Amino acid sequence: MTVLLIDDHTEVSRQALTLARKFGEPQAVALDSFSPFAPDALAAAIALLNPSALFAAGTERGNEVMARVAARMGLPFAANCVAAEPGDPVTVTRLRWGGSLLEEARLHSPRPLITVAPHTVSPDNGPPPAQISVDSPDNGAFVVQVSGHVQPTNGGVSLAAAKSGRRKASPSSRSSPACWAPPSAARGR
């Protein structure tokens, strides 16, 4: 059984490592294994490793790679967890509603995929996990590259020169969401 950590070499990854150690002795795959950042390529490489559990920091990049791994493996994943306990099913506590709610949930999955909410778990102070190198994908479709820039033919208007201002609401636009008022407020007109 291989427990993996997607490691971005930050304190937030050390926090994810704290929860990962509850599931076994983790090994790490570097988040920057491919340059430029190629989340789908990294997800494909991780899916081929077929980990028994996968952890990452709940950052934009950590959640993006984890979502792609989950899609490739056909598994659910729990995002922004502050606690996780091994078992069948795995019990997780997640941050919801911007941290104003803690949700306890059961993750029914043969391979738990969990991201850890930043700054909610004490960082692990043990030895760093062994690094696993992943092969670079041969398929260039995994890597997003800018092939060129297209200039508008009509000249366009820069944001600095664009006019801004409010438009007056016409009677027909009062039902649009931008101009909507509750019925009680509309009666007072």
Domain boundaries, the chain: 3-122
Query: So what's the pLDDT on residue 35?
Result: 79
Query: So what's the pLDDT on residue 187?
Result: 52
- Report CA dihedral (117, 51, 37, 40) to the nearest 10 degrees: -110
| Average pLDDT, 10 consecutive residues per value, the chain (189 residues) | 89 93 93 86 90 94 94 93 92 86 89 93 90 74 66 70 63 51 53
Query: So what's the pLDDT on residue 101?
Result: 81
Q: Which amino acid would we find at residue 59?
A: T
pTM score of the predicted model: 0.71
Query: So what's the pLDDT on residue 64?
Result: 95
Residue 125: name the closest of 1, 11, 6 by CA: 11
Query: So what's the pLDDT on residue 1?
Result: 61
| Residue matched to tokens 């920057």 | 32
Q: Are 106 and 91 in contact (CB under 8 A)?
A: yes
Query: So what's the pLDDT on residue 172?
Result: 54
Burial class of residue 182, CB neighbours in 10 A (0-12, 13-18, 19+): exposed
Query: So what's the pLDDT on residue 96?
Result: 87
Query: So what's the pLDDT on residue 97?
Result: 84
Give ∠ CA 60-6-2 in degrees, rounded to 5: 145
DSSP 124: P
What's the CATH code, domain 3-122? 3.40.50.620
Residue 31: name the closest of 62, 73, 71 by CA: 62
